[in-house]
Amino acid sequence: ELKVEQNPLFLSMQEGKNYTIYCNYSTTSDRLYWYRQDPGKSLESLFVLLSNGAVKQEGRLMASLDTKARLSTLHITAAVHDLSATYFCAVNPDTDSWGKLQFGAGTQVVVTP
């Protein structure tokens, strides 16, 4: 059974500082997603990482994938209040060809002045 673990589950950030969210998964996969969810809202796709060593950046967010370590990281640079949200990673296992995803439990991020 595929397991996807995120840590931390809660992250209190100070504005201007850098932080990292980790996503570990238990089976082989070359496709990992990061989503953002604002309170009471739906999920918005941030990044899809398709191969070992893949790195994607958008504004203050940068995601990377190490398929050998089965680890993805979401790095936040100089946190700002607008980044307060819950961040989910999700993995599509190699054994599935239809795009099924296993989600992590999510990391709730709160950015304060």
Where b means 16+ CB within 10 Å and e means fewer, 44-79 reads eebbebeeeebebeeeebbbbbebeebebbbebeeb
User: Given the complex with other proteins, which of 4 and 83 has the nearer CB atom?
Assistant: 4
Cβ distance to other proteins smaller for residue 89 or 111: 89
Binding to other proteins in span 70-89, by CB under 8 A:
88
* Contact present, 45 and 56 (Cβ < 8 Å): no
Q: Give the one residue of 11, 24, 27, 43 binding other proteins; rule: CB under 8 A.
A: 43
CB of 92 to other proteins, least distance (A): 6
Nearer to other proteins, 97 or 113 (CB): 97
Identify the H or E element spanning 34: strand 32-37
- The residue from 31, 61, 87, 109 that contacts other proteins (CB under 8 A) is 31
